[in-house]
Structure 1
C-alpha cells in the first residue's frame, strides 16, 4: 500500500484581518531551477474587500527567489500607497524558507541578502510582519502567480480604499 494515501493534507481557511489591518497573500512560482517565474499577490482589508491584486512574470528564477520577489513587490507597492501606511500589514506566504529568511532565521543564499534586507527595512517602516500559511489558505495568490507568464500577461489592479 502506498503510504502517501494515508497522509492527511492540512487544510487551512483564509482568515480575515482585524478591522484596520491589511492582509497580503503572496506567492511565487518557478518552473525549474531556474525556470520561468511568476509572482502574484492579493491585498484585502478587514471586510475581505480586495484592494489590490497583481500577477507578474519576473524572468527566469528559482522558487525561493520568486517567493521573495513576490513579498518584496508587495511591500514595495504598499510602501508607495498612503492608504496602507499606518495600518498593520500582515503578509502571508506559503514558503517556510522565505518566511524564515525574512524573520531572521538564517539566510542560505547570499545572492538574496540585499533583497531580504530591503524587505525587512520596508516592513519595519510599514509596521508589517510576514507569516507562514499553508498553500490551502493562499490559493488566490497562487493562481495569480501562475498567471504571470500566461497568455493573459502581467497585470496590476487597484481597488477602492474608501470604506
Structure 2
C-alpha cells in the first residue's frame, strides 16, 4: 500500500497573491492542456484559465503552464508591484525556472521570455508544491485537454 502525503492549499500572506498552475498530456507525447487559478489571501479567485496546447511532451507542458501564468500576471497593471507565487507540482520545471541554466535547448526561448518578465517585476517566485494542493488547477487542465476553446476569466479585485 502506498501512502501519499496530503497537502491542502495554503493561502499567501495578506499582501501577496498565489497562482497555482498545472499541465497534463494524454500519453508521453500527446494532446496536452494547461490550467491555473489565481487567488488572494482570502481564497478569492481572481483568475482562472485553461487551454489546449496541442501535442506536447510532459516537460514542455510544465514550462508552458508557468509561462502562461507569468504572461497573465503582467497583463494586469493592477497586479504590478504585488508579490506573487507561481506554484507548480513539477520539480523539474520549477528548478529550470529558478536556476541560471536554460534547461533543454527546446525550451530556451520560452524560459528566456518568462524569466525576462520575472526579472522586470522582481516580486515573483516560482515554487514547488505537492499535487494535492494543486487540485483546482488540475481540474482546469482537464478542461483544457477536452476543450476546443481556451478559457480565461478574470474576477473583480
Q: Same fold (TM over 0.5)?
A: yes
Post-superposition CA distance 1:18-67 (Å, at most 9, x none): 11211000001111232101000100011110000011001110111111
Which residue is equivalent to 2:20?
25
| Aligned equivalents of 1:21, 1:125: Cα separation in 2 | 17
Unaligned runs of 5+ in 1: none
Query: What does residue 73 of structure 1 align with?
Result: 68
Shift of residue 154 of structure 1? 2.2
Measured on the aligned residues, the alpha-carbon RMSD in Å equals 1.4
Q: TM-score, normalised by structure 1?
A: 0.90
Residue-pair matches, total? 156
- 1:151/1:76 CA distance change after superposition, 3 Å: closer
What residue ranges of structure 2 are gaps of 5+ in the alignment? none
Give 1:148's aligned residue. 144
Q: Deviations over 1:118-142 (max 9, x none)?
A: 1211112222010000100001001
Q: Which has the higher strand share?
A: 2
In 1, Cα distance between equivalents of 2:126 and 2:103 = 18
* Ranges of 4+ aligned residues in structure 1 off by more than 3 Å: 105-108
